[in-house]
């Protein structure tokens, strides 16, 4: 099972030619995949206008989400960020730490286009794959 990061969805949704969407479909080919609730938040906050909001909101409404363990997500994400920073690694978004924690806690492979997850994986048990959706 896969957790697909916001960085992948941004690539797919911005591609007017739909080539990246087709490439992603081929890559995941019938496998179960999820989004995190944080991905929904990040995609919606990046909308440029009401039309885009409505379109993306409608698309996101039918996706499968993996909810974090709300009792531990905040502290575990902060701990991950803290531990990496102590090693001299600064992750650009604490939300990326939360997404990584969801993948780790659910034993999912995280598909992404974000170098921070590669750094996180070097120091944790995060299973990740950086996808190249370039046309």
Residues 11-46 pLDDT 10s: 999 899 999 999 999 989 989 999 999 999 999 999
Domains of the chain: 2-130 (3.40.50.1010)
Q: Where does residue 80 rank: exposed (0-12), middle (13-18), buried (19+ CB within 10 A)? A: buried
pLDDT at residue 133, rounded to an integer: 78
- DSSP 8-state symbol, 88: T
Helices (H), the chain: 6-14, 19-28, 37-45, 50-61, 73-86, 94-105, 115-123
User: What are the tokens at 88?
Assistant: 């001299």
Predicted TM-score of the model (pTM):
0.92
Residue 5: pLDDT over 70: yes
Q: How many CB atoms lie within 10 A of CB 73?
A: 19
pLDDT tens-digit readout, 55-88: 999 999 999 999 898 889 999 999 999 999 999 9
Do residues 104 and 124 make contact, with C-beta atoms less than 8 angstroms apart? yes
């Amino acid at each position: 099972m896969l957790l697909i990061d916001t960085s992948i969805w941004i690539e797919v949704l911005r591609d007017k030619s739909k080539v990246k969407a087709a490439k992603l479909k081929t890559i995941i080919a019938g496998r179960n995949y999820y989004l995190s609730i944080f991905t929904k938040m990040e995609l919606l906050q990046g909308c440029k206008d009401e039309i885009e909001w409505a379109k993306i909101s409608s698309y996101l409404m039918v996706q499968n989400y993996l909810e974090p363990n709300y009792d531990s997500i905040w502290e575990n994400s902060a701990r991950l960020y803290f531990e990496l920073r102590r090693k001299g690694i600064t992750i650009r978004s604490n939300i990326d730490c939360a997404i990584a924690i969801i993948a780790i806690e659910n034993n999912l492979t995280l598909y992404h286009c974000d170098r921070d997850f590669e750094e996180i994986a070097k120091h944790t048990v995060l299973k990740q794959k950086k996808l190249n959706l370039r046309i």
